[in-house]
Amino acid sequence: MIITYGLIFIVVNLLTLLLFLWIPVIHAKMLFILVFALTGWSMKILPQGMISLTIIVLIPLFGLGSFSDSLAGFSEPFVWLLVSAFVFSGGMEKTGIGTRMSFSLLFYAKGKPSRILLYVLLSIVTLGFFIPTSAGRSATIMPVSKGLIAIVKDKTQAIFYGKSIMIGVALTSSFVGWGLMTGSNSSVYAVSAVNSILGFEWSYSYWFLCNFPIMIIVVFCFWLILKKLFLRHVDVELEQIDFVLQERASLGKMKPSEWRILIIAIFTLVGWVTEPVHGLSVSYIALIGSIISCLPIVGVQTWDEVKKRIAWDTIILFGAGIAIADAMHRNNTASWITANITTIIPEITPLGAAAFILVLVLVLRLGFAEMLAITATIMPITISLANTWSINPIWLIQIMIIACSFSYFLPFQSTANLISYSYGYFKEKDLLLTGTILTPIVIIIVIIGSLYYWPLVGLHP
């Protein structure tokens, strides 16, 4: 497989050189870098960090900007929000408070399979406020999920129950990625890129107001789909409340380290929500919280532990993504691509624009295992399309961000999918069936929400 992907990577990038024969040289250079990024990030023939660093080198080499321009993304404040996210996730994982929170919520399910499934999904949503990565949320809930499934003694029913819980965990982690501003690396990137390119600054509370209610509706519809697909085969009353009680009891009273990380988390959340009052940015508050979590006595982890948890490849990809977006705007390549698209679709309504972006990103997302990569690639084109169609670019970008989370079909489309799939409770066809039913429903919810709810809170098309 690696050899096959390697050959495809080489052939596609060589064929891209033919663009120099037919289109303006500056756009051919930019598209070569874009294709290199797309194929490199998605196929992972080389480490993503190496691909990202190569992009930073190619931009000045091709005369598409200075070396300082290609490094500008690393000066964005939201880079430090990413770093803080990895630090904070490490503290949550080390103390185990995420597992305690999940068991506390599941206590109220009272043994009913459908209610237990709903509370598992709500546990993922709750963890999203404290663990800002989908992989971290999935990894935290996995011991809980496995224990819940193991209680079902009937083998056939256990299979269907396992499918509902594991697919539920994977996809709900993706929903949280756009429902909260700090829910995923790609949301953090999008906020940073919008601020850098358009000068619009999202606050944590305004993002929450716009996206969280829509996400909750999606989660509830997803729960109904899982009930219909899998839980209809599970007709036993489960005595899982005993399992939950036993696990809660085994955890004992909250340890001092759990209290400390909880206090730090609450301090951070309050700081984010009250940003309009004190004026300190989300990134700044996050960095303060992450530093406190590493301090002696009041913290919960050491710096030696933390530095092993920071995914530097993701940080470098973040900077490279900003560099590509800036270069595409600076050299008008995004406008050139948009001009070619708008010769086919010169005018479009907000409804048509939303549907176009959702379907376009959905198709592109089939080949991407990295949500951040597709977000970085498609954002400058989305901004140019919005400007050409006289649509609010912030509105259209927000739809694009949601579409970039459409990892509902294949295990490799997200880390959360892979984590759940690796436990063997569901097959690829189960995820594909779920995604095929779920996706059109999510598209309808997003279109209705963007056209009718967002304008009520000030986000107009």
Find the helix packing angle between 134-150 and 78-95, rounded to 10°. 30
pLDDT at 236: 61
Task: Transcribe 35-64 into DSSP letters.
Answer: HHHHHHHHH-SS-HHHHHHHHHHHHHHTTS
C-alpha dist (Å) from residue 363 to 96, 189, 367 = 38, 21, 8
65: left (phi over 0), alpha (psi -120 to 50) or beta: left
Q: How confident is the model at residue 403 (pLDDT cuts 50, 70, 90)?
A: very high
pLDDT at 238: 55
CA distance 298 to 24: 59
CA distance 418 to 56: 29
Task: Please report, rounded to a whole number, the percentage of residues in the chain having pLDDT higher than 70.
Answer: 94
- The 10s digit of each residue's pLDDT in 311-366 is 788 888 888 888 888 888 888 887 888 888 878 888 899 999 999 999 988 887 87
Instruction: Give which of 76, 81, 77 is closest to 268, Cα–Cα.
Output: 81
CA distance 356 to 4: 32
pLDDT at 158: 80
Mean pLDDT of 265-292: 88
Domain count, the chain: 1
Mean pLDDT of 134-152: 78
Q: Helix (H, G, I), strand (E, B), or coil: what is residue 203?
A: coil
CA distance 311 to 307: 9
CA distance 186 to 298: 31
- The 10s digit of each residue's pLDDT in 185-205 is 889 888 888 888 888 989 999
Query: 346 near 160, Cβ under 8 Å?
Result: no
Domain boundaries, position 119: 2-457
Provide the b/e sequence for 226-262 (b: ≥16 CB within 10 Å): bbebbbeebeeebebbebbeebeeebeeeeebbebbb
CA distance 100 to 274: 27
Rounded to the nearest angstrom, the gap between the alpha carbon of residue 331 and the centroid of all alpha carbons in its chain is 29
Q: Please write down the HEC assignment for all residues of 251-262.
A: HCCCCHHHHHHH
pLDDT at 391: 95
Task: Report the range of poorest mean pLDDT among 7-21, 166-180, 223-237.
Answer: 223-237
Q: How much is the mean pLDDT over the chain?
A: 86
Query: 278 near 51, Cβ under 8 Å?
Result: no
Rounded to the nearest angstrom, the gap between the alpha carbon of residue 169 and the centroid of all alpha carbons in its chain is 14
CA distance 196 to 318: 13
Q: Helix (H, G, I), strand (E, B), or coil: what is residue 240?
A: helix
Mean pLDDT of 52-61: 93
Question: What proportions of the chain, in percent to the nearest 5, are helix, strand and coil?
Answer: 80, 0, 20
Instruction: Give which of 39, 3, 124 is closest to 370, Cα–Cα.
Output: 39
